[in-house]
Structure 1
């Protein structure tokens, strides 16, 4: 499967004040973002600038997670294969003034992401797997993110995944 590297978003990021060989590292690649199920904030078909905005926000959050929980010397590569944001756009809910649709959140429109990740420590691969992230109870759980955060449900889902898959795995070895 060909991979699409979004140059402005996919980069090797090294945490810390200097780029040391033992610093935690994260790379994020968005694979075929034009095929993502729902990766736009204001329109159901999502233009490229809207997808880039969502990808930028997802990448920023993954960087924050890596800075917080990826041990020094470990590297994490994440290939984002699909994004389906919480809620959906209903065609009859349209703002004429701004030309945007309104995202409606319902219990059957939970957030989802599909990704492939590789966690390494030096030359040793700790984990190499595909994963489906989802949060079926996203409207019923406590969420520490602001109600004005456009990715509040996706961030909570990524937090949970990162703690269960990456932090827990890295601390085992």
Structure 2
């Protein structure tokens, strides 16, 4: 029931903004050779490279959600993800936990990306960045037990997105 109401509300808001000529913010996420990513699989128990569809879908949806939260109407953001190294590592030699991703201080999340921010009346902003969070285990609220297997990567992207694209308060 709640899902149906939420979908209806989103459709009404979208149709109202289109009817009034308001263009919404848009985020396009592309993955450059995900089969070569360092560590972007939640289902791998070894050291093979590549990304799985679950990680690609989750990161795409999360970045699009952040765009709706932080970008201004009319802004368009294209993010090209070139590499992903998820937090933690599988330790296949541990026979009782071979499918568990162990989070350690030396296995922080890292995402290499480039982006282009376009907005009407302004030149495009472009940059290449390595987004990482070496302190991911020490940040308040980050160790909360969560069923989200990408909680560290999403928290890291939240911070990065807010710092880069949130509207700055005017003085």
The runs of 5 or more residues in structure 2 that have no matched partner are 1-12
Deviations 1:83-137 (A, max 9, x none): 10000111213569xxx62111100000000000001102633420001100001
Q: Within 1, Cα distance between the matches of 2:95 and 2:57?
A: 25
Matched with 2:14 is 17
The structure carrying a bigger strand percent of its residues is 1
Q: Judge conservation of contact 1:120–1:127 (CA < 8 Å) in 2.
A: yes
Structure with higher Rg: it is 2
Secondary structure of the residue aligned to 1:93 is coil
Q: Judge conservation of contact 2:40–2:49 (CA < 8 Å) in 1.
A: no
TM-score (norm: length of structure 2) = 0.78
Would the alpha carbon gap of residues 124 and 149 (structure 1) be closer, same or farther in structure 2, given more than 3 Å must change?
same
Q: Within 2, Cα distance between the matches of 1:120 and 1:171?
A: 20
Matched with 2:38 is 37
Secondary structure of the residue aligned to 1:101 is coil
| Counterpart mapping for 1:1-173 below 5 A | 17-18=14-15, 20=18, 22-43=23-44, 44-45=46-47, 51-94=52-95, 101-122=99-120, 124-143=122-141, 147-168=146-167
The runs of 5 or more residues in structure 1 that have no matched partner are 1-15
